Amino acid sequence: MKIEAVLLHRIRMELITPFATSYGAYTDRETILVQVIDENGISGWGECVAFATPWYTEETVLGAWHVLEQFLIPSLLKEQIQHPRQLPQLWQAIKRHAMAKAGLEMAVWDLYAKLQKKPLYQLIGGMRDEIQVGVAIGLQPTIEQYYEWIDQYIAQGYARIKVKIKPGQDVSLIAALREKYPQLPLMADANSAYTLKDIEHLRQLDRYQLMMIEQPLAADDIIDHAELQHAMSTPICLDESILQAEDVRKAVQLGSCQIINVKLGRVGGWNEALRIHELCVEKRVPLWCGGMLESGIGRAHNMALATLVGFTIPGDISASSRYWQRDIIAPEVTVNQGKVALPKLPGIGVEVDTDYVSALTLNKLEITTDS
Ligand SMILES: O=C(O)CCC(=O)C1=CC=C[C@@H](O)[C@@H]1C(=O)O
Ligand SMILES: [Mg+2]
């Protein structure tokens, strides 16, 4: 594998409906598409899922752009690796910056799979050709709008519904949803909106058979989640707290959670996600693939991740049309009776609509072996 150029495309896509969480609301999504090109002109694509502002983790679009341009891309072009598994070693002197690393690593894995003429999901050991998927609904201003969205998503066959909660929009919301949808597979994502002072308040949720409560406490916490999990019967799922397999080992040892949401961007890419998967299969901790409001490129990688045997819970891998008027890939991701079929073409199995990417591009950078 001889990578000769890396291109970064910073694009902005308009969300068809605002996405609101306990941190705030988004109406559009800036993201970085990462393209690696080999000596024969074959491209691999990845996505750096950092948001424009540092509300989810400390990474941002412009911060990741800088780390990619100044450190990650030059080291990749200089070393010329033969397998994407070599990347963590290559970048060990570059601390953290998980989403920047993941975007470039994903592109290298896509290129490598294309050169092996294999679908990426088969290359990484995926066990299924189609995956069950769920959908996340942002905070809504009225209960009627929850009903409107949930009725629509149930009609589309989504296998589970995730709603956001925060203080003041939690117990009564979940009670109303459970009342209207007694059998619906339902989960709540708190995005760190609570503290241990809220234990008694959160325990009220135990009566509503939620599948899980995602990340109720601080984004960098594992210890307090253990105290909360021991006080609640509802499974806790960790998202922001899990940056690497070592965090999983500690969370499992302390009993901080019963489920883990894996996001390729949050854990630094495929290599660490595969380590987390291996550990969770060994420890029997169920996994699902989280979403980051990705374009079709990040979504295609997430689909491959969700084919692994340990991903037993439907993830946030909704159809392209749930987010965008038009996606940047062909074919777009579609959901049929709550399932997404994996394309059987080499790599991520989708074509990137480069003309449309150009139309959405805010700025672009090309770095070659001659740069
Ligand atoms: O991409 C999706 O469909 C779901 C997105 C989603 O729920 C999230 C994206 C990013 C941060 C959070 O708000 C939340 C999450 O924590 O999973
Ligand atoms: Mg989450």
Nearest to 264 by CA among 294, 234, 227, 237: 294
Place of tokens 């989640």: 225
- Indicate whether 272 belongs to any domain: yes
β-bridge pairing 186-189 and 213-214: parallel
Residue 284 falls in which region: left (phi positive, over 0), alpha (psi -120 to 50) or beta: left
344 is catalytic: no
- For position 286, which CATH number holds? 3.20.20.120
Angle between the N-to-C axes of helices 171-180 and 143-155, in degrees from 0 to 180, rounded to the nearest 10? 40
For residue 168 the two structure tokens come to: 């003041």
Domain co-membership, 77 together with 166 = no
Give residue 354's pLDDT: 98
Catalytic residue among 263, 339, 344, 364: 263
Domain co-membership, 166 together with 291 = yes
Domain co-membership, 109 together with 183 = no
Q: For a pocket test of ligand 1, which of 160, 316, 320, 322 has the largest count of ligand atoms closer than 8 A to its C-beta?
A: 316
- Indicate whether 102 belongs to any domain: yes
Cβ atoms of 40 and 5 within 8 Å: the answer is: no
CA 120, 126, 132, 138 dihedral sign is negative
Give residue 26's pLDDT: 87
263 is catalytic: yes
- Indicate whether 58 belongs to any domain: yes
Q: What percent of the chain has pLDDT over 90?
A: 95
240 CA distance to ligand 2 centroid (A)? 7
Ligand approaching nearest to the C-alpha of 290? 1
Domain co-membership, 79 together with 128 = no
Round to whole Å and give the CA distance between 32 and 46: 9
Round to whole Å and give the CA distance between 170 and 74: 47
Ligand approaching nearest to the C-alpha of 213? 2
355 is in an annotated binding site: no
SS3 category, 345 = coil
For residue 193 the two structure tokens come to: 């909106």
For residue 6, list its beta bridge partners.
Answer: 36, 367
- For position 16, which CATH number holds? 3.30.390.10
Number of CB atoms found within 10 A of residue 366's CB: 13
Q: Cβ(189) to ligand 1 under 6 A?
A: yes
- Indicate whether 282 belongs to any domain: yes
- Indicate whether 224 belongs to any domain: yes
256 phi and psi angles, rounded to 5 deg: -75, -20
- Indicate whether 348 belongs to any domain: no
- Indicate whether 336 belongs to any domain: yes
DSSP class of 87 = H
- Indicate whether 297 belongs to any domain: yes
Domain co-membership, 152 together with 288 = yes
Residue 263 Cα: closest atom of ligand 1:
17
- The interface pTM score, or ipTM, of the predicted complex is 0.97
214 is in an annotated binding site: yes
Q: For a pocket test of ligand 1, which of 213, 293, 297, 320 has the largest count of ligand atoms closer than 8 A to its C-beta?
A: 293
Q: How many domains does the chain have?
A: 2
221 is in an annotated binding site: no
Q: Using one digit for the tens of pLDDT, what is the confidence trace for 179-235?
A: 999 999 999 999 999 999 999 999 999 999 999 999 999 999 999 999 999 999 999
Q: Using one digit for the tens of pLDDT, what is the confidence trace for 153-169?
A: 999 999 999 999 999 99
Q: Is the pLDDT of residue 127 over 80?
A: yes
Task: State which residues form the domain around 241.
Answer: 122-341
Cβ atoms of 244 and 223 within 8 Å: the answer is: no
Q: How many CA atoms lie within 13 A of 127 on its CB side?
A: 6
Average pLDDT of the segment spanning 334-349 = 96
Domain co-membership, 246 together with 167 = yes
